Structures are given as structure tokens and as C-alpha cells.
Amino acid sequence: MVFIYLGKKVYRSFKNKQSQESKTPESDAAATNEPSIEATNDRGSDECKPEPTPNAPGCGHQFDASAGPCPTCKSARREQLKYRAKIFFGLVLPFVIQALDVTIIASALPWIASDFGETGQLNWIIAAFNLTSAAFIPFWGQMADIFGRHLSIQTCLVLMLVGSALCTGAPTSAYAVLLLGRGFQGLACAGLNVIVRIIIADKVSLRENAKNWSIFSFLGGILGWGLGPVLGGYITSRSSWRWCFGINLPIAFASMLLIYFILRSELLGPQPLAQLDETTETGRRTTFVKRLKTIDIGGQFLFLFGFGLLILGLSWAGATYSWTSPAVLVTIILGVIISVSFVVWEYHMSPGKALARMFPSQKPMIPWELVRNRDIGLLFYTSFATGMAMYSVLYFCNIYFTMVKLWSADESGVQLLYFTPGLGVGVYISAFMCNSWPRKTFPPIFIGSIIEMIGIGLLAWALYTEHNPTVYGMMALTGVGTGLRVMPVPLHGIGSFPKKIAAVVSLMAVAYPFGGTFGLTIMTTVFNNTSGIGNDSPLRDFTTLKNLAPAQLAGVTNNAKMGVVWAFVAICPFMIICTIAASFLGNVYISKSGQGEDERQTEIYEGVYLLKFLRKGSSTGNVTARRHESGEPTLVK
């Protein structure tokens, strides 16, 4: 219903604009010479932004202000509305399916693990997904640049079909088949996550990007993070948990058709690569084989294995093996060594370095200037903590409702809805702060970090008291903090590096599942050790809990409650560190609509913005401007 409602709103807005413009005599003339979005509108910004003239303030196409609305400006606005409508209808299903796939099993997770007899290993259902969804995000970012947006996103949807089919048909005697399917789903979601964000940021100004991403963030929050747990619980209780995966099949197929028929003509193709002497002006693109040779094979290999071993070791720790076991220690240590090697490799892939000279045709997976940028590092950790908080609420609050309150899957899923209003409020406030006032990225990120820290801490206390209204309130408060940061974090990175959208989006996107996996690993370890879960524990098959004697049941549920409480306490230090990290961020200023040529560039404060604010503007940092066309910094003040 939400999808239908939002679709109608976009369609009516588009039709109203067309009907209003058809009443003016200039519309016919404009229609004969419609300029492209890129030629007239700074790649799709809100208004046509030429230099104002004395007789026509705000528009440079006509000198007589009494001549009526400018046909060129009207045409540009019409094209912008068409483009926004295509983006919405073409990307809404892929975006929802990747958000839904993360959350729909939150309510069904204990029941799935119980059917397979793997309650003690339930975190692997999440870890198998996160392992591929996190490790392959930079890979898809580079594929989107090398082979184009359309081919990349269609490939992701095919992988989603394969993974969902495996999960739907996995026999309960073959836990590995389920995990394999989850791995394919994670691989697909990694691509959908990053490519959808890249497409939204393509061909538009930073301000328009903020508007479009706000819509998708709100939509993803409602349909993905909000509806997902409820839908998963309802399906599990009324039918079978298998349909939590089967529902992806028709959605993925419909997405492929919509993208092909609606959006394909608007998507950017293979991007020009300096390594192959390609330029935007000539439009010349080399063959598929030559572009394949530009992939940073060494960087991809090191990142996949290093990051994959880290995720694997964290997934084993405390659940499959003890933290001090050789399997965990060797895996994590190797993961750290290979990950450090990846950073060293990317450094030497920068222009003029040894590997760049050795492999002149290869494009670095993550440009070194991003790796060494302070704000990018702080934004990465902020996203890391956001993923940790989001996953903790969706998965461990559900464990609390299932194992402590003894509610059914659909009842537990409904309780997770309290997280959604807070998430929506946070997204709305961040959109207002970025688009209207104060039009800066620092305030929502910093305030969101504080609110999320308070929300997680008080949620642990509320779970201990078992006071349901307080639990619901703290879930909503945590949602506000999360929503405040969902949109401004990538926006801050894109504003700082407007010509490296794919790399920035990939780096920010990889932090969410990594933080979620790391947080769930710590929480699962604490929960298992505190609750006493094991092969001989009644908690192994929680469906039989209600059959226990009252005294035994009280002891088991109390142990489960304390396990959940201490699991939340364990991630509180990470939330505190996140608030401290956010306080050291700079700031990206988002231009006001109607500022003409200025909208084509982004002003960035590169110092510690909080100090500048506390000192009432006096600080040693510099404000630089980066134009969207070049991405080169220019000192402003």
C-alpha cells in the first residue's frame, strides 16, 4: 500500500506539472527544442541555474522579465520530473528487495535455526549473508564503472533469483544449502545496495541527490526495516519460513523487467577510464576484454580474502569455537594481515607508485586519497556503528520477545514495528536539515550519534526491567538516531569527492554489514555465555519452553533475558566511540535552491566543524569548493 501511495504521489506531481505548462503559449516552442538534463540543469538539479540578469532575475535565458515563464526553464523542470519518476519506478523494487532481505528473517530466525537443529549456530544464517554482502560491495562499485549500471544491476537481480531459490528449497537436513543460498543473496544485495545508490547520485546535483536519497531512505525504512520483520513473522506463523525467501523471486523478476523497459535508457554506461585513454568528450569505449583488464585484480583478491577471513573468524568466535581456539585466532590474524596488505597494495596503486607503473591499465579499487582522508575514515566508523545498532535491535529484541516473553513469531515481528516510526522520523529530520535548514551534513550525523548512543544504553536497561512501553520507546529512540545518519553520511562523502561516487558509496555501504556482523558476533558470544545456551540446554529448542515446569521455565527465561541485556551492554562502548568520532568530522554545505552557478559546486569545511561552531566561526580549518564537473578543490576561505 505504501508503494502504491508513493507511486501515485509521484505520478500526480508529474501530471500536474505537465498540465500547468501546457496552458502557456511558450510550451510548444520549448517542446521543439527540449534541452537534456545534463545540458541545462547541472545534471538534474531542481531548477535551471544560469547567471541572473538585471531584467530577468533568476533566469539568464530571456532579458524581458515580463515575457512570462521561461520556456527553457520549464522544459528543464519537466525533464527533471520525468527523470525522478523513472528513477522511482525503476529502482524502488530493487532497493526494497535488498532492504527486505536483511530484515525479513529477523522474526523467523529462531524458527529457521530450530527446524535445522542449529539454534546454537543461528548467527551463521546472518553471517553467511553478511560475509558476501560486505566483502563484495567495493567489487560491485568498480563493476558499475567498468561495465555500466544496467548490466551490473541486472546481474545482481539474477544472483538474487538463484540465492532465493536455493534458500526456499533447502532441505532441513542440509544446513549448508541454506547458507549457500544466503551467500548468493548477500552477493546480490551487495550489488543492489551500492548500484542503486550510485544511480541515484548520477546526473544530479548534491541537493537533488539529498532529496532523492531521502525518498528512498524513508521508503526503505518503511518497507524494508519496518515491514520486513512483521512480514517475516506473519509468513512464518501462518505458512512457512521458506516463503520469507520465496517472496524475493517474483519481486526480482519484476525488477528486471521494470529496469529494462523504464530505466535502461537513462542509466550511465561504462565510464571513461584514463588507463585506456578514454574521455567523456570523445565517448569512445574500448572492448569488453580490454575493460576487463582494468579491474584491480590484486586489490579485489586481497580485500575479498582479508575481509572474508575477518568475517569468518568473527562468526566462528564464541558460537562455533571459543575465542582462544586456533581456528578463530589463525583466521582473524590472517584476515588482519591480508587486510593490511590490501591497504598497502592500494597505496602503491596510486599514480606514480610502483604497482601503478607495473599495472598501468588497472584502476585502483579504492583510490588512495579516500583511504587517507580523515572524514572518510570517521564516516566509515559512523556507518559501522549504525549497522551495529540497527542489527542489534532487529535481531536481539526479537530474541527477547521470543525467548523471554514467549511470544509467537508474528507477535514478535509486530513489536519490531516500534523501531520503524523512529527511523522514519530520523530520516525526515535529516532530510529537513540537509535540504532546508541548516543545509549542512554535520548536525544530523553528530546529533544522530548522540541519540543512538543514549537509545542503545537505555534499551539495555529497559530490557532488564521488562517494562514493555519503555522497551518500545527506546527502540523508537534508537531508530531516530539511526535514521538521522542514513542519508547524510554518504552525502557527506559524495560532497567531498564528487567525481568518485562509486568508490565513496562502496566504502560507506561496506561499513553497515561489517558493523552488523561484528556487533552480532559480540552479542551472540555474550548471549551464549550468559544464558548458558548449549546442546543440553532447553533453549536449544525454544518451541518446547512452554512445556517446562514453572520453576524451570522461570530460570530459563531469566537466563535468556540476562543474556540479551548483557549483549546490548557489550556494544555500548562502540556507540560512545562513535559519538566521539562524529565530533571530529568536518562539514559539507549544501547549496540553496536558486543559487545559480553555485549549485554546481560543493563547499566543504575540512577542519573540526564542532570546534568552529563552539568558537562561533573562528577556526583554523579551510573551506574549499569542489565543482561537480571536475571534483578539484579550490580554496574559498
537-594 residue pLDDT tens: 555 555 666 677 788 788 888 888 999 999 999 999 999 999 999 999 999 998 775 4
- Identify each DSSP E strand in 459-560 by its residue range: none
Half-sphere exposure of 107 (CA within 13 A, CB side): 32
What is the domain partition of the chain in residue ranges? 295-362, 587-635
pLDDT at residue 227 greater than cutoff 60? yes
Which of 242, 114, 243, 134 is closest to 183 using CA atoms?
134
CB 590 within 8 A of CB 207: yes
Worst-scoring range by mean pLDDT, 13-17, 471-475, 610-614? 13-17
Average pLDDT on 418-431 reads 88
Query: Which cell is 612 given?
Result: 568552529
For residue 186 the three cell numbers come to 548477500
pLDDT of residue 276: 60
pLDDT at 576: 97
Give the model's pLDDT for residue 633: 53
Residue 635 pLDDT more than 80?
Answer: no
Residue 165 is predicted with a pLDDT of 96
Question: What pLDDT, on a 0 to 100 scale, did the predictor assign at position 338?
Answer: 95
Radius of gyration, alpha carbons of the chain? 25
Interval 36-94: pLDDT, tens: 333 333 444 444 444 444 444 455 555 555 556 677 777 877 887 888 888 889 998 99
Q: Report the SS3 class of residue 603.
A: strand
Average pLDDT over residues 142-168: 93
pLDDT at 489: 92
Range name among 32-36, 535-539, 613-617 with the lowest pLDDT average = 32-36
Q: How far, in Å, CA of 614 to CA of 604, rounded?
A: 18
Average pLDDT of span 382-397: 91
pLDDT at 33 over 60: no
pLDDT in the model for residue 616: 76
Mean pLDDT over 465-485 rounds to: 94
Task: Say if CB 126 and CB 512 are below 8 A apart.
Answer: no
DSSP letter at 35 equals P
What are 432-465's pLDDT values in tens digits? 998 888 899 999 999 999 999 999 999 999 999 9
Amino acid at 362: Q
Q: Calculate what percentage of the chain has a pLDDT beyond 90.
A: 32
Task: Indicate the average pLDDT of the chain.
Answer: 80
Go through 445-471 and write b for each residue having 16 or more CB atoms within 10 A of its CB, e for each that does not: bbbbbbbbbbbbbbbbebbbeeeeeeb
Comparing 9-18, 228-237, 293-302, the range with the smallest average pLDDT is 9-18
Please tell me which residue, 290 or 343, carries the higher pLDDT value.
Answer: 343
Measured between alpha carbons, how far is 388 from 367 in angstroms, rounded to an integer? Answer: 26
What pLDDT band is residue 392 in, cutting at 50, 70 and 90? very high
Contact 314, 518 (CB under 8 A): yes
Q: Residue 290 pLDDT more than 80? A: no
pLDDT band at 336 (very low <50, low <70, confident <90, very high): very high
Highest mean pLDDT among 9-23, 55-69, 492-506: 492-506
Report the pLDDT averaged over residues 494-502.
85
> Using 50, 70 and 90 to split pLDDT, how confident is the model at 621?
low
